[in-house]
Chain A
Amino acid sequence: MRDYLRTHEGEARIFIVLAVLMLFLGFASPTFFSAGNFASLMNNNAVNVIWAVGLLVVLITGGIDISFAVAASVAQYLTALALQAVGGGNWILGLLFAGAFGIAIGCINATLIAGFRIISIVVTIATFNALFGLLMFTTSGKSIYDLPDWWTDRVAVVSLGAGGALTLPVAAMVAAMAATWFLISRTTTGRQLYAFGDNAEGARRAGVATVKMQFIAYGWMGLMAGVGGLMQVNLAQEVVPNALIGRELDVLAAVVLGGARLGGGRGSVLGCFLGVMLVAVVQNGLNLLGVSPYAFKMVVGLTILAAISLSNVDLAALLAAGSRRRGHVGLH
């Protein structure tokens, strides 16, 4: 346990903050710890967690992906069209389509990043613009409401009595978390992903296939984008081409909040989950406390600002810096 705390300090910190926050909300609001509230928290944030674990793999390899929310929109739209073409389909076909479209977009990113040596943030901002522009242009911004019943029907996976139920997106979230955990913590490829993110040149010299790492990371992100998009339709019951835009930055903030390092080599699935949940619980709490919805974003932003400031504060270093500055003054 102590070892775990030492190696996962970021996760421990955020867990404590989350626990304190939840305790406070439990006392402040009678409904916070109800089954219904729990179910809606999980159901509404499952998609963000799915994207978060996808993004995590990219961040671990030292890259970044801005384009995944657009990739999810494209995958949604193409899946809807493909399902129409095959006359309905089912969950397996839907997963296959959405996953394949997502992976294809991820591979486009990986090709540009690995093949032409372009920095990931440049590539994904370019593909963000290209894909979003093409999607909106070809669809004229039209939404699709005529979707197969199996896709939009609510599927209760775990019933929580009268309070509500955990639905299929939550099951997908658990599966995505488990699969990502297995990939990055239990396989050789996972160790190579961390090594590559920590020191790309060192990993290359140690025999890590760097191009393969890029394709695995962005392919995995693409797969998660596709699956997340598929589940989002199950929640929203419609395909709106520009509905997911902007979510990428929220998810990015949550993942980094959860201890993943921009620049690579660090991050965990649990941290992702906690990061997404911290933001979600703050919003949920404000809602339950009857705060004006217009103030939500403001408080969420402040929370993240406070969290990153606190998580980077190293009191000993700060004191040392203070005395060093005094030393400078003495010299002048």
Chain B
Amino acid sequence: MLAYTERLGRVFGREVPGLLGLLALTVVAFGLTTPHFLSAANFDSIAFQLPDLGLLTLAMLAPIMSGGINLAIVPTANLSGLTLAWILNMNGGPQAGVFSFVVGIVAALAVGGASGAAMGATVAYFGAHPILASLAMMIFLRGLGEFLTRGGDISGFPNFLRELGHGAVLGVPVPMLIFTAAAILWHVLLARTRHGFSVAMIGSNPRASEYSGIPVRRSLTLVYALSGVMCALAGIVMLTRFNSVRVGHGEALLLVTVLACFLGGVDPFGGFGRVAPVFVSLLILQTLSSGLNLLGANQHLATAVWGLFLVAVMVARWVWASRVLQMMIARRIDVTRGRQGEDEGKEATSLRLEERPHE
């Protein structure tokens, strides 16, 4: 069992076993307190609600890994959704065919990628702080969307979009499938590719990366562009789920995505983070929200619980870290006391302490 969790931690990140434990605890607690919690309908609703937040969180994760942040994820998603909606409406709205849908998706992904790349270039080539660059981009894209739509929403899409947003394959909702595929893709991208390695190195130390021959500026631009593409995917999924697009839709999710990343053990300064623990934290957050919902609370209480939950986990991590530290110190003191009689100088003691793990 212990060896198994260790391997799980090595492959997917050492946060995973603990977070899985928390997830199990949440599920059991709600399962015992609310009769409808462990029902197929509830899991269905979790699986339908998760993808929006999940895809946006993936879009947030990559820039944070690079030591930055992308605060423009929601307007990027909105604007990409708007692109798709615009192309569908140009081609007959409800009568639009599959071909125009595919063209729309490509255009939406391109818009997302382009706005991400513009932001990344501002960060990489102008040296703007990511918070400020993405904040300005957020204000600009939201403004552009408001300007184009006059604050209204756009709807009237072909029927097969509903199938996409609300259908299921083998009992798993289609949005959830898309999200899972995107998460696997993101895991491979960040943990297994050269680009992912570059991103993590840049997040750890940009200057050292530059001196090591990593194309820092190009990688940074690319990571924001990819983040934009992921936003576009989120925008498309949101369009199919709500059957409409409105600028500002999902704005409340912005800080929740950051919260999910931190909960999943992603280093706020960049360099360290895995997709798997973030995926599990998303499951925890959505489970908490669904469970509280079944208990009769509203989303606002769930939001509060999410915040308190993040504080609790961070405090627990601190306690854990400082206890481990204290244990190590205590062990050292024991060793020093035990050998005090034999040792003359401090150097000898500390030398032996260094060797202790090998004993």
Contact = CB atoms under 8 A, between A and B. Distances in A.
Interface of A: 64, 66, 112, 116-119, 121-123, 125-134, 136-137, 141, 246, 249-250, 252-253, 256-257, 262-263, 292, 294-302, 304-305, 308-309, 312-313
A76 B91 CA distance: 50
Given A125-B255, A296-B143, A297-B139, A133 B300 contact: yes
Contacts of A250: 139
What range describes how many residues of B lie at the interface? 35 or more
Given A305-B122, A308-B126, A312-B127, A125 B132 contact: no
A129 B312 CA distance: 13
Interface in B313-327: 314-315, 318
Contacts of A299: 143
Nearest to A296: B143
A130 B150 contact: no
A301 B141 contact: yes
A118 B267 CA distance: 11
Given A304-B135, A309-B126, A294 B150 contact: yes
Q: Is the interface of B mostly helix, strand, loop or mixed?
A: helix
A23 to B, nearest CB: 24
Interface string B118-137: 00001000111101110111
B256 A129 contact: yes
Interface string B274-286: 0000000000000
Interface in B135-173: 135-144, 146-147, 150-151
B303 A129 contact: yes
Given A118-B318, A305-B136, A123 B141 contact: no
Given A132-B300, A132-B303, 6 more contacts: A112-B311, A117-B318, A141-B300, A256-B132, A263-B129, A300-B140
A43 B137 CA distance: 27
Nearest to A112: B311
B143 A129 contact: no
Contacts of A134: 300-301, 304
B53 interface: no
B214 to A, nearest CB: 13
A116 B318 contact: yes
Given A125-B259, A253-B136, A116 B128 contact: no
A136 B122 CA distance: 37
Contact of A116 (B127, B298, B314): B314
Contacts of B298: 137
Nearest to A313: B126
20 contacts: A64-B131, A66-B255, A116-B315, A123-B314, A127-B311, A133-B304, A137-B300, A252-B131, A262-B132, A263-B129, A296-B143, A297-B142, A297-B143, A299-B143, A301-B142, A304-B132, A304-B136, A305-B122, A305-B140, A308-B129
